């Protein structure tokens, strides 16, 4: 829908308009991003944060939330026509033509600039630049270039989604160190099996939208095998914090148990596929990541 047509639509109330803009930020996705960033912040601080560190962490959370929301809104803008053809996303305000392209772009740019200002003024320049780079990687490189061109889009583009712990670590330490990169690697390896589980039961949506997702280009069985293989590699990757000496036995036990559970879902998915099982695998993958990072945090404080 063009801006001129959209502008002729009946006016909506302020709360309704606010809700439309809020939806563009993909709140549930951003919540997970901020959660992973907070884990990076807390792990970067030996012991409990001081009052000053707590203030920096709060400012970093706000700044990262704003820029992540801006990236999500820009994604909705770029994929407006794709979203309108997919059941999963056809309800978004941009897909329904409830917001104009100008409104969405202005909203995204405003959030991004505000978030960068918060990070620069109350956190540090490194975190600001890393967060901006993550915005560009997701909103431009992944959304505009990779997603419509290659079935490996989520693998390559997953690097931007893996950055939150690095942002959190940089906010508290003013540096990017090996511990932060290990957390980044874990999310990077987690992203493909997480997303492909979703793509398996949404394959018709992606085919209708013309997106070359792995189940569309290589089929169901090939994708299921790769979900299983990635969970094996992911389990190995989650052992790195223990091997490096960043964590102790509490985390190791949790990583092994959670990893085997994830592999169990993936194995069942590979052997006996059903849409219901794919949904369960996708949902478990989110719980898995949250529990894994929570275990890392518990271990951090238990071993103080």
Q: Residue 130: CA atoms inside 13 Å, Cβ hemisphere, count?
A: 26
pLDDT of the residue at 14: 58
Residue 14 C-alpha from the chain's centroid: 29
At residue 6 the predicted structure's pLDDT band, cuts being 50, 70 and 90, is very low
> Residue 60's pLDDT is what?
97
Mean pLDDT of 13-29: 83
* pLDDT digits 0-9 by tens, 101-130: 999 999 999 999 999 999 999 999 999 999
**Residue the block writes with tokens 């967060």:** 131
User: Contact at 8 Å (CB) between 39 and 297?
Assistant: yes
Please write the tens of the pLDDT for every residue from 213-254. 899 999 999 999 999 999 999 999 999 999 999 999 999 999
Question: What's the pLDDT score for residue 36?
Answer: 94
Per-residue pLDDT tens over the stretch 37-83: 999 999 999 988 999 999 999 999 999 999 999 999 998 988 888 87
Tell me the pLDDT band of 12, cut-offs 50, 70 and 90: low
pLDDT tens readout for residues 133-146:
999 988 888 878 77
- Cα–Cα distances in angstroms (integers) from residue 241 to residues 163, 164, 237, 258, 290, in the given order: 17, 17, 9, 15, 16
Asked whether 149 and 213 are in contact (CB, 8 A), the reply is no
Q: How distant, in Å, are the alpha carbons of 47, 113, 198, 268, 297 from that of 276?
A: 43, 41, 11, 12, 32
Alpha carbon 186 to chain centroid distance? 13
Q: What is the pLDDT of residue 19?
A: 87
Q: What is the DSSP string of 255-274?
A: HHHHHHHHHHHHHHHHHS--
In which band, very low, low, confident or very high, does the pLDDT at 91 lie, cut at 50, 70 and 90?
confident
The number of beta carbons lying within 10 Å of the beta carbon of residue 269 is 26
- Residue at token pair 């600039």: 113
Counting residues of the chain whose pLDDT is more than 70, the rounded percentage is 95
Confidence check: pLDDT of 34 > 70: yes
pTM score of the predicted model: 0.90
Q: Where are the domains of the chain?
A: 12-176, 177-304
Query: d(Cα 247, Cα 293) in Å, to the nearest integer?
Result: 11
Asked whether the predicted pLDDT for residue 204 surpasses 70, the reply is yes
Provide the pLDDT confidence category of residue 1 given band limits of 50, 70 and 90: very low
Is residue 8 scored above 60 in pLDDT? Answer: no
Percent of the chain with pLDDT over 90: 68
Asked: is 12-176 a CATH 1.10.357.140 domain? The reply is: yes
Compute the mean pLDDT over every residue in the chain, rounded to the nearest whole number.
90
């Amino acid at each position: 829908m063009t801006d001129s047509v959209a502008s002729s639509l009946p006016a909506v109330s302020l709360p309704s308009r606010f809700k439309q803009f809020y939806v563009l930020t993909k709140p549930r996705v951003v919540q997970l991003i901020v959660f992973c960033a907070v884990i990076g912040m807390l792990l970067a601080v030996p012991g409990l944060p001081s009052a000053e560190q707590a203030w920096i962490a709060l400012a970093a959370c706000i700044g990262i939330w704003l820029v992540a929301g801006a990236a999500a809104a820009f994604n909705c803008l770029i994929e407006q026509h794709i979203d309108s053809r997919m059941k999963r996303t056809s309800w978004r305000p941009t897909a329904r033509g409830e917001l104009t392209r100008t409104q969405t772009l202005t909203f995204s740019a405003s959030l991004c600039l505000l978030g960068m200002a918060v990070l620069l003024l109350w956190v540090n320049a490194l975190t600001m630049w890393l967060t901006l780079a993550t915005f560009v990687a997701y909103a431009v490189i992944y959304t505009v270039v990779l997603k419509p061109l290659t079935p490996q889009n989520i693998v390559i583009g997953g690097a931007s989604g893996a950055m939150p712990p690095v942002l959190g670590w940089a906010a508290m330490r003013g540096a990017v160190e090996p511990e932060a990169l290990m957390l980044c690697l874990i999310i990077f390896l987690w992203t493909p099996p997480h997303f492909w589980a979703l793509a398996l039961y949404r394959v018709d949506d992606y085919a209708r939208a013309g997106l070359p997702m792995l189940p569309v280009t290589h089929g169901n069985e090939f994708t299921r095998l790769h979900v299983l293989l990635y969970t094996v590699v992911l389990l190995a990757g989650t052992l790195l914090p223990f091997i490096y000496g960043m964590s102790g036995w509490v985390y190791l036990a949790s990583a092994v148990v959670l990893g085997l559970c994830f592999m169990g879902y993936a194995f069942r998915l590979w052997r006996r596929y059903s849409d219901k099982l794919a949904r369960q695998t996708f949902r478990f993958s989110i719980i898995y990541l949250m529990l894994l990072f929570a275990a890392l945090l518990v271990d951090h404080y238990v071993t103080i």
